[in-house]
Structure 1
Amino acid sequence: MLNTLYAYSSNISSWHVLSFGLLAYCAYYFMSVVKLPTIACADGPLKNFLQQEIPTLNQKYWPTFWCLDGRAQTILASVIRSKAIPEIAYKREMFTLTDGGEVALDWMDDNCNSNSPCIIILPGLIGNSQDDYVRCLTVAANNSGIRVVVFNNRGLGGVAIKTPRFYNACNCEDISEVVKHVRSVVPAHCKLGATGISLGGLILGNYLARRSEEARTYLSAAKIISVPWNVQKAVDNMDQPIINKLIGYLLAQGMYKIVNRSGIHKYQEFDMTSLKKSKSLRDFDASFTIKHFDYPTVEDYYNDAGLQDKLHDISVPLLCLNAADDPFQLLDAIPIQAAYECSHVAIIVTTRGGHIGFLEGFLPSAKDQYMSRIFVKYFTKALIDEQGEFQRIKDDLHQKFLAKHSLEG
């Protein structure tokens, strides 16, 4: 019997083996990969709005056939956007914070008028207004007649540190001042939204949760993309060999360079030699972040920064987009069950997409990406709200929010 099988297998051509492998891969792709995105949100006005107004959410997500790995999607998406979307000629505004610190607000309103709403964008960990994913969202919004202002964190965007303060994932003070300032600059009848990507999503999410009533006063809608909900698990995952560990090392070194260039160490004593030797984000946070912001341990900082247990403190309608294979935050750390019980937060989860990747189609495009398509459709409907539909949804959600918190109180 074994001899017969061996003789049979020896006569199979490589063409047949290749065909069988391709057939098996296609079966796997169609059966396990191509699926409708999960919409984790309590039944109610927000979920109904998303399903009715954003057609993409009712369609299967077709990740790029030959690029399924989350890390590959992350890298390739960045390469495609970097090559296809040129740098943007923003109008820079230097904004002075109440403590004397200074940040750059980069405005893009070329395709706008006096009635155009505005979106504040918060980039990721070491990101600024010229990062590829920020340009992608900015161009998409501007093409739809929405003005954009990118909030570059302290020490980023080519701006020097002027006070002994940096930024972290819980940094609500700066975004609070920026939101109030932008609201005062944009015409009163124009609605204001905000979106945060990765670490920017953590900062925005913490602002929405910790300053819930303030956020609701100024913001009509919010969105976060590829946020590491559970920071502890995200950092643990980044410590896994080999590729994740390499990415973590590069991010830690990127943070070291920003700190070193900013001159923050001139105001507060740090062991810059140890900081330079950081091999992971955990190393960097242990050597810098917890000392600069007075956290007892790294775990205390990560627990404070996480959003997984803060959904019910958010009163601004919030749309979130995550991929189940995000190398920074895998599916088990996304608070899907909590979102199913939350009327004002919706978490969209795709089977693939990596971290700020979300490539789709055989030849993925930089101009019409899944991420930017949902972003534009959501904010267009929420902010250009001529019939007041979304405002009624927001008011209804707020009444439920107040009633729930009244009962809990």
Structure 2
Amino acid sequence: MTSYKPPFFLFNAHLETIYPALLRRVPLQPYHRERIATPDHDFLDLDWLRQGSSQLVIISHGLEGNSHRGYIKGMTKMCIANGYDVLAWNFRGCSGEMNHQLRFYHSGATDDLDCVVRHAIGKGYQHITLIGFSLGGNLTLKYLGEQKPLSVIQKAVAFSVPLNLYTSCRKISLSSNRLYSERFLKSLKKKIITKAASRKELDITNIQNITSLIDFDNRYTAPLHGFGSAIDYYTQCSSLQFLPAITVSTLIINAQNDPFLSEDCYPVKLLEGHPYVRFENPLYGGHVGFAQFHKNGLYWSEERAMHFIND
């Protein structure tokens, strides 16, 4: 289960990344949405699919994603087919409605994930698995390693994780990755402009002159969330430093050809002999890719996650 080979027409990392992001469609029954309050008087929108299971999978999406992205719905479909209830939560400002507070979301906002987990426990779940993709993967791993995890969390899986946020941000900012960085920047700027309509203290002067994710994080992400700079934000929130402390059975999968990830995101030696964390780095997969066909619409990543969860 640790090997993956892409379909013949997805013959490079960019195609492996872009095809699923733009063209994948996953038929899925409608979610039931629940809005919960956060301790700071904001809200989070949670999308549920339940079938009376005592076991729950909580799924965290990536940068500028949401619960309706193909990779979230694909994993949800797999979990439902294997008897689990699913909670796919939306980060602040990602559910289709802008959140109330000046802050929004970031790679290390584990307070919101903790709020979601505790809400699920309040529903009666005694067995919870966490799955995260990209930014959501970093968030999940940081959450597991920064403090003693709640006993109900039994397993975790993280895909395409920028374990070192700074070097990965530099990687995605290369000219060869301009398509991705510009798309993310466009979406992030739009959210800041939208929020500024109701929060006048948010300065959007010359926002269109921001041309890199690091510059965006310096101007907005870092100060809005209490960090001194983008570098300070990356340093404090990179999950790489939290991996040694994880005490939950965890699987991390980063494809070797992921165009977003730096060399630091392949900590083979660091995790060698780790009693709880397994790291796999298949040759192919791109970033949140792992497409395959003739498997009932399910991707390799979903099969691999379920095999690990059920093992």
TM-score normalized with structure 1 length: 0.72
Between the aligned partners of 1:330 and 1:66, the Cα distance in structure 2 is 25
Cα 1:165–1:345 shift into 2, 3 Å:
same
How far is the alpha carbon of 1:309 from its aligned partner? 2.4
1:326 is aligned to 2:258:
yes
How far is the alpha carbon of 1:210 from its aligned partner? 1.1
Deviations 1:243-279 (A, max 9, x none): x022101101111222333x26744633313333332
- Long gaps (5+) in structure 1: 1-55, 382-409
How far is the alpha carbon of 1:376 from its aligned partner? 1.8
Between the aligned partners of 1:341 and 1:276, the Cα distance in structure 2 is 47
Between the aligned partners of 2:196 and 2:160, the Cα distance in structure 1 is 28
Alignment of 1:354-365 (within 5 A): 354-360=286-292
Say whether the 8 Å CA contact 2:159–2:288 is kept in structure 1: yes
Between the aligned partners of 2:225 and 2:262, the Cα distance in structure 1 is 28
Q: In structure 2, which of residues 173, 178, 182 is the aligned counterpart of residue 249 of structure 1?
A: 182
Name the amino acid aligned to 2:87: V
1:260 is aligned to 2:190:
no
Name the amino acid aligned to 1:251: F
Q: In structure 2, which of residues 276, 292, 304 is the aligned counterpart of residue 344 of structure 1?
A: 276
Say whether the 8 Å CA contact 1:274–1:287 is kept in structure 2: no
- Cα root mean square deviation, aligned: 1.9
Say whether the 8 Å CA contact 1:88–1:135 is kept in structure 2: no
SS at match of 1:308: helix
Say whether the 8 Å CA contact 2:252–2:279 is kept in structure 1: yes
Alignment of 1:6-405 (within 5 A): 56-57=1-2, 60-82=3-25, 85-86=26-27, 88-109=29-50, 112-113=51-52, 115-188=53-126, 191-211=127-147, 213=148, 215-242=149-176, 244-261=177-194, 263=195, 266-267=198-199, 269-331=201-263, 333-360=265-292, 367-381=297-311
Deviations 1:21-65 (A, max 9, x none): xxxxxxxxxxxxxxxxxxxxxxxxxxxxxxxxxxx13xx422223
* % same residue: 26
SS at match of 1:309: helix
Name the amino acid aligned to 2:49: M
Deviations 1:284-311 (A, max 9, x none): 1112011212322211111112122221
Say whether the 8 Å CA contact 2:138–2:161 is kept in structure 1: yes
Between the aligned partners of 1:103 and 1:139, the Cα distance in structure 2 is 22
SS at match of 1:329: coil
Cα 1:79–1:97 shift into 2, 3 Å:
same
Between the aligned partners of 2:66 and 2:122, the Cα distance in structure 1 is 23
Between the aligned partners of 1:197 and 1:169, the Cα distance in structure 2 is 11
Cα 1:376–1:245 shift into 2, 3 Å:
same
Say whether the 8 Å CA contact 1:121–1:196 is kept in structure 2: yes
Deviations 1:359-389 (A, max 9, x none): 34xx5767131101011222233xxxxxxxx
How far is the alpha carbon of 1:352 from its aligned partner? 1.1
Say whether the 8 Å CA contact 1:165–1:264 is kept in structure 2: no
Between the aligned partners of 2:27 and 2:192, the Cα distance in structure 1 is 27
SS at match of 2:275: coil
Cα 1:340–1:216 shift into 2, 3 Å:
farther
Say whether the 8 Å CA contact 2:56–2:129 is kept in structure 1: yes
When structure 1 is superposed on structure 2, of 73-82 and 130-139 the one drifting more is: 73-82
SS at match of 1:310: helix
Between the aligned partners of 1:164 and 1:253, the Cα distance in structure 2 is 19
SS at match of 1:301: helix
TM-score normalized with structure 2 length: 0.93
Cα 1:100–1:299 shift into 2, 3 Å:
same
How far is the alpha carbon of 1:330 from its aligned partner? 4.0
